[in-house]
Homo-oligomer: A and B are copies of this chain.
Amino acid sequence: MMKHLAVIGAVFAIQLTAWAQTPQPAPQAPAASLNAASTAEANKAIAIAFYNAALNEKDWEKASKYIGSRYVQHNQAAVDGLEGIKAHIENLKKNFPLNHGEIKRTIADGDLVALHIHVKRSPDVLGFAVVDIFRIENGKVVEHWDVVQRIPEPKDVKNANTMF
């Protein structure tokens, strides 16, 4: 009886060991893709938080916490670096206190995040369609590109889909 139990126990142990050593199904994509996806999601949140702090709340103190040790500026109307973005925020705060950008869609891929935004300097204007692109490095915004287009008057519009 004890011998039987010993054999059963040992066989069971061997089977379980074999099961445990069987290679488990491989992930559907390499870990790099998984990390890239989660990085892009994290970067999306950082870009949105930075945009809101800077352009909507116009709070340089808060916005600057999202900026890295450098800020490569591609908006050609702004001075390079932190100085340019700080001046832009201060100008908005002083001259366009009701400036607001409504983020319509967010596209994040690797270290880049694009925000498609309806920007109005005051509530009563048509405003601008803007795409801001931010590059995020180690959780900080380090580079910025944008493209800005004035929204056309209704009389000049050829479809009813709006710019967004």
Residues of A within 8 A of B (CB): 2-3, 5-10, 12-13, 16-17, 19-20, 24, 27-29, 31, 33-38, 40, 72-80, 84, 105-109, 112-114, 116, 129-131, 133, 145, 147-149, 151-152, 156-164
Contacts and interface: CB of A to CB of B under 8 A. Distances in A.
B2 A157 contact: no
A148 to B, nearest CB: 5
Nearest to A150: B149
A141 to B, nearest CB: 15
Contact of A72 (B27, B76, B161): B161
A95 B32 CA distance: 45
The 5 closest A-B pairs by CB, nearest first: A9-B9, A16-B16, A6-B6, A131-B131, A80-B159
Contact of A107 (B36, B75, B114): B114
Nearest to A148: B149
A34 B28 CA distance: 6
A139 B78 CA distance: 39
A33 to B, nearest CB: 5
Contact of A38 (B5, B10, B29, B157): B29
25 contacts: A5-B9, A6-B6, A6-B9, A9-B12, A16-B17, A28-B31, A28-B34, A28-B35, A29-B38, A33-B34, A33-B37, A33-B38, A34-B34, A73-B161, A74-B162, A76-B163, A77-B156, A78-B159, A80-B158, A106-B109, A107-B114, A107-B133, A114-B131, A116-B131, A129-B145
